[in-house]
Each structure stands twice: as structure tokens, then as C-alpha cells.
Amino acid sequence: MSPGLVACFSGNMGSGKSSVSHVLAQALQWRRAGFGDYIRTRVREHGGNPNSREALQDLGQKLVESDPDGFCLAVLASGGFSPDEDLLLEGIRHVEIYRRVQRLVAPSRTVLIHLSVEEVEARRRIASRDGSNDDLERARAHRVEADVQTSLPAIADLIVNAAPSVEAIAGEILRAIGSWRYSMEDE
């Protein structure tokens, strides 16, 4: 049994993390898990609004603070993670959570891919998806977003300009994944 590759995605709201990870999951035939998907399901199960950024951020932060290992393991399980299979893990918001994922998936190798997008483009995407940017300033000020601006890009294995099309972004990431997989064969 050879270890898998867990490709983790971080980025600001509107950077395209979910869209890119879905395209990659299809192209690679890999399993996919998302912190946001998991939290939306939990909010829905408790009768909350799964479309409320505030509800999602508040529950996510509560899970990070109360049982970070359990939170990470539950998200990994939601994607059917197995140490001998590859996985796309979308929605890393904290350096500490990324470090925990690295430890929890060992001996699988992890890489962090950060999607970077200009403010104007992020706002355009959010407005087209959600219908407005009314809640955006409050959401960006939430402490769950603190590491996304500087700390996560600083430790990323790859920073991708997320302005081009999803297909172009996926192509760049596919080339990087190919390189990482090749280097794993030499280890």
C-alpha cells in the first residue's frame, strides 16, 4: 500500500476553491471533501440556514476550538479518505488545521494550494453566486478568515492566480499534481 496525496486548497471567499476542486475531482477521478460542505451539512442538520455565512463561520470556528482533530477527521471521513488513496480537500482556513490534517493523514503526503484572486473579481463572483455582497465585509472580518490573507499563502506549496477560467486554473494545478506524484515515486 503506497501513501496517497492529499491536495488541500485555501483561498479567500470568491477565489473558486469549490469550483476548481470539483473540476479536478472529475479530471483526476479522485475523492473530494470540503470543510464548507461538511459545515453546511451540520448547520442544516441543526435546523440552521446553510446559506448563512455567519452561521457557517461561527460553527466552523466552534469546531476548530472545541475538537480540531475530530473536526478534521469528520471532514476527511465525509470524503471517504483512505491513506492509500488520493484526495482533494477544499476549504483550509487555518494554518493549525492544515498542520493537523498533515498529521492525521500521514503517511499520505499533503500539499497546500492557495488560490489568489483580486478583490474586484472576488466580489463579482460572490455577487453572481449569492446575489449580493451585503454580508461580505462582516464575513471577511470574522476571525475564521484571519489566516487566509497571509499565513496560509506563506506556507503554500503552490499559489495560483485564480483570475483565469476554472479550466486554466485546473490545468496549472494538474501539472503541479503530476510533478508531486512523480516526486513521490522517487521517494
pLDDT at site 1: 58
Q: What average pLDDT does the segment 113-127 reach?
A: 72
Q: Tell me the three cell numbers of residue 172.
A: 496549472
Examine residue 153 and say whether the peptide bond preceding it is cis (omega within 30 degrees of 0). Answer: no
Greatest mean pLDDT among 67-71, 82-86, 130-134, 160-164 lies in 67-71
User: What are the distances in angstroms from CA 119 to CA 15, 22, 64, 123, 184?
Assistant: 9, 23, 27, 6, 36
pTM: 0.87
Go through the domains of the chain in sequence order and give each one's CATH number.
5-186 (3.40.50.300)
pLDDT at site 58: 86
| Three-state DSSP class for residue 183 | helix
